[in-house]
Structure 1
Amino acid sequence: MLGGLTLLAGCGREPRPVEVIQSRGTESVALLIEREDGAGPYVESTAERFRVVASGEVIKSVRWSADAGTIEPSQERVTWTLPSAGTASLTVSIETESGKTAEGAFHFNVMAAPLATSNAIDPGPDVTGELCDLAFDSMGNGHVVYTNGTHNSLWYGRWDGTAWQTEQIDGPGFNNGGEFILKGALVVDPATGTPHVAYSKGAGIITSASLRMAYATRINGAWIREDVDSTPMGRMTIALNPAQAQQPVIVFGTNASGNVRISTRTAANTWSTVPFSVTNQVLTSDALFDSTGALHFITYQPTSTSSAAQSLRVLRGSAVESFPLKTIGVLTPWLSTAWGPDQHFLALANSINEGEWAAIEDITVGTPASASTRKVSAVDYRYGASDLAYGGGKPVVALRNGTSLSLGTTNAQGFWTYTQLGTVQDSSRPSVAIRPTDGVPHVCYQRDGKVTFQ
């Protein structure tokens, strides 16, 4: 029996139905083994638990063996730590109380671990990575921007598939216009690998400082920094317009009025900023362009009550189209977004209340947007921070619950399976992206005060 699948490993948080694997032998006693609390593929170095059952018989004694990996037998059960990727076999021999004997050999396709071993992107002495943003270009190179919390600066890293090289984008400086940085957002031109970064900068007490919108890009090995807009700002997102030669566009919310502004880079160090025509809105999601150049993002309108209306906004030129979403609390989380196939706009809430069923929106965007349809789904019972990507025909999510980080994707039945990634920093936010050259998801996050990649 070949047990290999193409999904990520499942490390179940809740008990799952057992996977029953039947023997194909000719013995008079039919043997089967049950994979306990397992789902998805068999991944190298994973400890899998099995139980043997003999049809219509009471088992008297059991002997387990494997051709690779290590086993820890315990009568009718065994824990098998899987070997390296390839085909591996688990064999069980039994004797029943009635004196019958039987043997079954079970064969499995073992996958390589879907994620690389974690390593610090920036191993220096400073605290880094409370916020990070990860992306890949079409050649498989990794790009990340991350905060340095010790000195309130913004840094960039580039990964060639083996090692990270890091450099500073902005921060406190001498006679170079550098200022303190609170956060940054990254988007990468997939064809050229050119990073484009939107970030907030300013001075004063961070919680009350008047921060301004800024932009940086890396050209010929040097960072070009530009001021975008002097309006005090809060939330922000950046996207590249494929219909305009990957022109950078920054969408950001203003602090005082709760309105949204849209800034377009029309030339080097030249930005055209216009207010969003729908007033009294709060920006709540990453922005995405479709292939025609229509800009998509989500906002909500504050009210004096305990709820507010949330809407998808689609900008086609200067025309604004809208599609109503769910009613939410006034304090709404940020939504990570990703394109699925066939104009599916996916939006994942950064955090949820326990048991919230509408954590992810799957919006099939219509033309006009008012003709859109939507489905909402649960992702996990609880989590405090998250990020979303889409690739290989399925969504991938990074979920932080307290100090525990997991990677989730869906199996053939559409249920979420979870791979535990270990301990991370509480209150930090992970970022997930899928490397296009091999389809492997990777994450950046903060562990032990360091920005980390896995």
Structure 2
Amino acid sequence: MAILTAALVVGCDDDASRDAGGGTDGAVPDGGAVEVDSGPLPDGAAPDGGGVDAGPGDRPIEAHDVERFPNSFGCCGHEINIVVAADRVPHVMGVRDRSGTRSLWYAARTGGTWTETNVTDDGSLPRPRERNTFALAPDGSPHALFSDGVTLTYAWLDGTWQSMAVDATSSVGDTFRHFDIAVDAGGAPHVVWFDQTLEALRYGRWNGSAFEVETIDAPAVADDQSGEFARLALAADGMVHVSFLAIVSGAPVLRHARGTAGSWTVEDVPGMGKGVHGSMLLDSAGNPHIVSADLRSSRARGIYWSAFDGSAWSETELDADSSIVDADADLDPSDRAHVIISNSFGPAGYLQYLYPRNAGRDIYDVRGAVVGDAPESCDLDLHEGTPHVVNPNAYVTFP
């Protein structure tokens, strides 16, 4: 059958471009400061070393600082991802498009300067389409996962970039990113993906020479499917957690799988969130949290936070109506969800940052020319509670 989300509309309704506080482009309601293109920032920090407070009495965000990416990155609106290392150095990976030729790049920011390497430019690796993701190993080395539209490719940096197909028998599309990667404490990569041929959620673990591959969840009947928007998290005890979208009798269902190779428990997670543009997160106690959008009339709508307390799931509505083009989330040291949302395409588009404050939540609109003209991809990573955000044009921090 055709993938249901292949027809998912990635544009937006009129309400998708709403301003949470009535502000105008480049400005924040209630006298907030306009966007500042601040130039080079200190590694891993806003200019004043600030960030989002993690305790009661949090202050509201009133401005953001932007560092435009070098022109060499050339993302052109394709997917981009960020991981902030333990030393506060941001690492970024994205896809550039030059005259119709796409290539994967990776960069780290040290000493106020982005140092870039080309993952696929020399022609020895498969060409990416748009979708990619990566993780850092304990030694700080990057491990990437990307699709050329058919094959899921794993790439790693060992002096030079090397690659291999995760599973040559799987077919992985490129309409949305339906795959993810994480690296365990021993340096072994784990990957999950939606296999378009089997219409099933697949998992692979590196054994030192190859990926050992198995199916986590497969459709029970024809026309069902399992595994779209697959997201992965590894617990300290070795347990693997995966969130994903399943289609059951034509209806979208959020599912969570936990286990290790050969032994999996899969459950439906109740609520409005359906795993679309989801994030699979683990709190300080190792309990799973999933932040994701609903799927309504082939549109990703709203953002919902599902949390497991050790005995049951509960859900918090973070935003009920936004049309979601992309989203990402992370937990702060107090186990509270922070979310970045991309609301629309084109010059009218902007990012929204949903963050906890006091006993509630605030929404801050990240607008302006630097971040607003290619917002269809966004990514968020928290380092010690401080948010680091990227879209295809810029690196954003909050003073």
- The TM-score with structure 2 as length reference comes to 0.61
Once the two structures are superposed, the pairs formed by residues 42-61 of structure 1 within 5 Å of their partners are: none
Output the aligned Cα RMSD. 3.3
Q: Answer yes or no: is the 8 Å Cα contact 2:293–2:304 preserved in 1.
A: yes
Match of 2:235 among 233, 241, 246: 241
Q: Does 1:375 align with 2:362?
A: yes
What is the alpha-carbon distance in structure 1 between the residues aligned to residue 272 and residue 317 of structure 2?
Answer: 16
Alignment partner, residue 335 of structure 2: 343
What is the alpha-carbon distance in structure 1 between the residues aligned to residue 179 and residue 118 of structure 2?
Answer: 22
Once the two structures are superposed, the pairs formed by residues 29-428 of structure 1 within 5 Å of their partners are: 39-41=38-40, 112-121=111-120, 123-124=123-124, 126-149=126-149, 152-160=150-158, 162-171=159-168, 178-182=169-173, 183-189=178-184, 191-203=185-197, 211-231=199-219, 232-233=225-226, 234-242=228-236, 245-255=237-247, 256-265=250-259, 267-278=260-271, 281-301=274-294, 310-329=303-322, 331-352=323-344, 359-363=352-356, 373-381=360-368, 382=372, 383-391=375-383, 394-400=386-392, 405-410=393-398, 414=399
| Deviation for aligned residue 1:139 | 1.6
What is the alpha-carbon distance in structure 2 between the residues aligned to residue 251 and residue 309 of structure 1?
Answer: 17
Is the alpha carbon distance of 1:387 and 1:281 closer, same or farther for their aligned partners in structure 2, counting shifts above 3 Å? closer
| Deviation for aligned residue 1:143 | 0.9
What is the alpha-carbon distance in structure 2 between the residues aligned to residue 280 and residue 341 of structure 1?
Answer: 23
Structure 2 gaps, min length 5: 1-24, 28-35, 43-109, 220-224
- Higher share of residues assigned strand: 1
Is the alpha carbon distance of 1:386 and 1:263 closer, same or farther for their aligned partners in structure 2, counting shifts above 3 Å? same
What is the alpha-carbon distance in structure 2 between the residues aligned to residue 139 and residue 14 of structure 1?
Answer: 39
What secondary structure is seen at the aligned counterpart in 1 of 2:114?
Answer: coil
Q: Answer yes or no: is the 8 Å Cα contact 1:147–1:153 preserved in 2.
A: yes
What secondary structure is seen at the aligned counterpart in 1 of 2:264?
Answer: strand
Structure 1 gaps, min length 5: 1-12, 16-36, 44-110, 172-177, 204-209, 365-370, 415-454
Q: Answer yes or no: is the 8 Å Cα contact 1:298–1:312 preserved in 2.
A: yes
| Deviation for aligned residue 1:270 | 2.5
Query: Relative to structure 2, which stretch is displaced further, 193-202 or 120-129?
Result: 120-129
Q: Answer yes or no: is the 8 Å Cα contact 2:276–2:292 preserved in 1.
A: yes
Query: Relative to structure 2, which stretch is displaced further, 347-356 or 233-242?
Result: 347-356
User: CA deviation digits over 1:37-86, x for unaligned, max 9?
Assistant: 8735489xxxxxxxxxxxxxxxxxxxxxxxxxxxxxxxxxxxxxxxxxxx
| Deviation for aligned residue 1:192 | 1.7
What is the alpha-carbon distance in structure 2 between the residues aligned to residue 42 and residue 332 of structure 1?
Answer: 29
**Higher RCO, 1 or 2 (CA under 8 Å, sep at least 6)?**
2
Q: Answer yes or no: is the 8 Å Cα contact 2:229–2:245 preserved in 1.
A: yes
- Specify the code of the residue in structure 1 equivalent to 2:207: I
User: CA deviation digits over 1:184-233, x for unaligned, max 9?
Assistant: 211222x2222111101133xxxxxx721101110122211011111203
Give me the identity figure in percent.
Answer: 18
What is the alpha-carbon distance in structure 1 between the residues aligned to residue 199 and residue 156 of structure 2?
Answer: 27
- Specify the code of the residue in structure 2 equivalent to 1:138: P
- The TM-score with structure 1 as length reference comes to 0.55
| Deviation for aligned residue 1:296 | 1.2
| Deviation for aligned residue 1:314 | 0.5
- Specify the code of the residue in structure 1 equivalent to 2:383: G
Q: Answer yes or no: is the 8 Å Cα contact 2:327–2:342 preserved in 1.
A: yes
Query: Relative to structure 2, which stretch is displaced further, 317-326 or 218-227?
Result: 317-326
- Specify the code of the residue in structure 1 equivalent to 2:310: G
Q: Answer yes or no: is the 8 Å Cα contact 1:339–1:345 preserved in 2.
A: yes
| Deviation for aligned residue 1:165 | 2.1
What secondary structure is seen at the aligned counterpart in 1 of 2:124?
Answer: coil
| Deviation for aligned residue 1:392 | 6.8
What is the alpha-carbon distance in structure 1 between the residues aligned to residue 299 and residue 254 of structure 2?
Answer: 22
For this pair of structures, how many residues does the alignment match? 281
| Deviation for aligned residue 1:300 | 4.5
Alignment partner, residue 25 of structure 1: none
Q: Answer yes or no: is the 8 Å Cα contact 1:358–1:376 preserved in 2.
A: no
Q: Answer yes or no: is the 8 Å Cα contact 2:144–2:181 preserved in 1.
A: yes
What is the alpha-carbon distance in structure 2 between the residues aligned to residue 185 and residue 305 of structure 1?
Answer: 23
What is the alpha-carbon distance in structure 2 between the residues aligned to residue 327 and residue 280 of structure 1?
Answer: 10
What is the alpha-carbon distance in structure 1 between the residues aligned to residue 299 and residue 182 of structure 2?
Answer: 34
What is the alpha-carbon distance in structure 1 between the residues aligned to residue 124 and residue 135 of structure 2?
Answer: 22
Is the alpha carbon distance of 1:386 and 1:319 closer, same or farther for their aligned partners in structure 2, counting shifts above 3 Å? same
- Specify the code of the residue in structure 2 equivalent to 1:342: S
User: CA deviation digits over 1:394-446, x for unaligned, max 9?
Assistant: 3222212xxxx322223xxx2xxxxxxxxxxxxxxxxxxxxxxxxxxxxxxxx
Alignment partner, residue 428 of structure 1: none
Alignment partner, residue 431 of structure 1: none
Is the alpha carbon distance of 1:125 and 1:321 closer, same or farther for their aligned partners in structure 2, counting shifts above 3 Å? closer
User: CA deviation digits over 1:246-300, x for unaligned, max 9?
Assistant: 31111111132111122122x4222221222347845442110012022111245
